[in-house]
């Protein structure tokens, strides 16, 4: 950890936000050596931050002991080069427990995933996230998706809360996001609040989110093809829309179509991609299941096509 604020560190290094998969061995247990290699490769490839044990990292499938080990390993591999943000979820009590584990393991911040199962009102969501933020000294990014979709007024309340520094949007309603950005800017102008595009394969909506001023995003592709992800990130950031559209049409749109071919592919297909690139990170844990063999073969062809597009544009 460093004394610099997390928000400043997340915006200082240009690059996608890296969400590593969690590696398992042949017996299904944690493979920390493979996980460390995966994290180290991502940092060396240009990640702006490591988000460990979040959705792509199968937070739901990890025991507290495994969670602590993975977060600690990510912190050690980062060695302060980029921030490490850990997932925290379930109900308020358990989420706070995971937050304290992450703090003890040296994490720089937390990604607060939706509370488990229940569909809560806005006041309940505010109470949940503010209690989580109060549980540690770590800064918190709230993950909006599924059963935790927030109104602009709720986001204003969260932006004003001690320790909550940003909102990651996995819901995908651009009208809502524009209203959130506008209302927070109007009603909480003193807050330097961050916004993240957190949709699966966020590159697909990168142009749209850039249009409303949201440029930070998580990249699942970075986990298995960092060269393609970085080329897209550079093009999007520099306004090279010709390259952006070439990669969208030839790689990212077909990838999303493949991702939508099976349930849980937002995680299991990413893990298959990491294995295709030569690092054995094992299979996903139940209730997720592995992609069909034909879909893994199609993923291999897509990665090859994406790299051909990079060569064509060089």
d(CA 228, CA 276): 15
Q: What is the mean pLDDT of residues 185-193?
A: 94
Q: pLDDT-derived band of residue 313, with 50, 70 and 90 as boundaries?
A: confident
User: Which domain does 10 fall in, by range?
Assistant: 6-225
pTM score of the predicted model: 0.96
The answer on pLDDT for 51 being more than 70 is yes
When pLDDT is averaged across residues 133-144 and rounded to a whole number, the result is 98
Is the pLDDT confidence value at 225 over 60? yes
Can you tell me the mean pLDDT for 123-146?
Answer: 98
Mean pLDDT of the chain: 96
Q: Residue 137 in 3-state DSSP?
A: coil
Question: What's the structural domain count of the chain?
Answer: 1
Name the β-bridge partners of 144: 169
**Is 258 among the domain residues?**
no
Closest-CA residue to 294 (of 248, 256, 261, 270)? 261
Q: What would the two tokens of residue 129 be?
A: 């996230």
For helices 226-238 and 293-313, what crossing angle results, to 10°?
50
CB 96 within 8 A of CB 59: no
Query: What does each C-alpha distance from 252 to 17, 44, 47, 207, 299 come to in angstroms?
Result: 17, 23, 19, 13, 11
Q: What percent of the chain has pLDDT over 90?
A: 96
* pLDDT over threshold 80, residue 314: no
Lowest mean pLDDT among 7-11, 135-139, 254-258: 7-11
Q: Count the residues in the chain.
A: 314
pLDDT tens figures, 157-182? 999 999 999 999 999 999 999 999 99
Please give the positions annotated as active site: 143, 168
Whether 124 and 153 have beta carbons less than 8 Å apart is answered as: no
Inside any domain, residue 30: yes
SS3 state at 131: helix
Question: 143 — phi, psi (to 5°)?
Answer: -100, 110
Give the CA-trace dihedral at 83, 265, 233, 245, to 10 degrees.
Answer: -170
The enclosing domain of 162 has a CATH number of 3.20.20.70
Asked if the structure places residue 295 within a domain, the reply is no
pLDDT at 71 over 90: yes
pLDDT band at 201 (very low <50, low <70, confident <90, very high): very high
pLDDT at residue 240 tops 90: yes
In this predicted structure, what is the pLDDT of residue 233?
98
Query: In whole angstroms, how far apart are CA 119 and each of 116, 149, 168, 212, 279?
Result: 9, 10, 19, 28, 38
Residue 216 has pLDDT above 60, yes or no: yes
Is the residue at 126 inside a domain? yes
**What average pLDDT does the segment 231-253 reach?**
97
Q: Is the pLDDT of residue 2 over 60?
A: no
Mean pLDDT of 229-247: 97
Mean pLDDT of 261-271: 98
Residue 215 domain flag: yes
The answer to whether position 18 is within a domain reads yes
**E strand or H helix at 217:** strand 216-219
Select from 264, 260, 263, 249 the least CA-distant residue to 302: 249
Give the per-residue pLDDT at 4. Answer: 75
Query: Is residue 255 domain-resident?
Result: no
Report CA torsion sign: 277, 298, 283, 25: negative
Q: Is residue 276 part of a domain?
A: no
Phi, psi of 91, deg, nearest 5: -70, 175
Per the CB < 8 A criterion, the answer to whether 172 and 204 are in contact is no
Tell me what pLDDT residue 1 has: 44
pLDDT of residue 13: 81
**Overall average pLDDT of the 90-112 stretch:** 98
Whether residue 237 is predicted with pLDDT greater than 70 in this model: the reply is: yes
């Amino acid at each position: 950890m460093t004394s610099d604020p997390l928000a400043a560190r997340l915006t200082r290094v240009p690059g996608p936000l890296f969400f590593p998969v969690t590696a398992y061995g042949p017996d299904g247990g944690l493979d920390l050596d493979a996980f460390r290699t995966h994290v180290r490769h991502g940092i060396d490839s240009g990640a702006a931050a490591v988000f460990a044990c979040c959705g792509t990292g199968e937070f739901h499938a990890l025991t507290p002991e495994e969670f602590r080990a993975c977060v600690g390993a990510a912190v050690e591999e980062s060695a302060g080069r980029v921030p490490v943000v850990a997932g925290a979820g379930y109900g308020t009590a358990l989420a706070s427990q995971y937050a304290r584990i992450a703090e003890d393991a040296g994490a720089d911040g937390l990604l607060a995933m939706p509370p488990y199962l229940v569909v809560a009102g806005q006041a309940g969501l505010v109470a949940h996230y503010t209690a989580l933020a109060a549980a540690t000294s770590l800064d918190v990014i709230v993950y909006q998706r599924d059963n935790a979709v927030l109104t602009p007024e709720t986001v204003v309340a969260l932006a004003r809360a001690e320790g909550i520094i940003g909102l990651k949007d996995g819901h995908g309603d651009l009208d809502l996001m524009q209203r959130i950005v506008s209302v927070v800017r109007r009603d909480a102008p003193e807050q330097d609040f961050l916004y993240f595009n957190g949709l699966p394969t966020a590159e697909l909506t990168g142009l749209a989110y850039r249009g409303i001023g949201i440029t930070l995003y998580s990249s699942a592709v970075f986990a298995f093809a960092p060269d393609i992800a970085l080329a897209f990130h550079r093009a999007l950031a520099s306004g090279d829309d010709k390259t952006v559209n070439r990669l969208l049409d030839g790689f990212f749109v077909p990838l999303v179509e493949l991702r939508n071919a099976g349930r849980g592919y937002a995680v299991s297909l990413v893990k298959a991609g990491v294995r295709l690139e030569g690092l054995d990170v094992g299979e996903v844990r139940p209730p997720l299941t592995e992609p069909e063999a034909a879909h893994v073969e199609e993923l291999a062809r897509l990665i090859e096509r994406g790299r051909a597009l990079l060569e064509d544009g060089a």
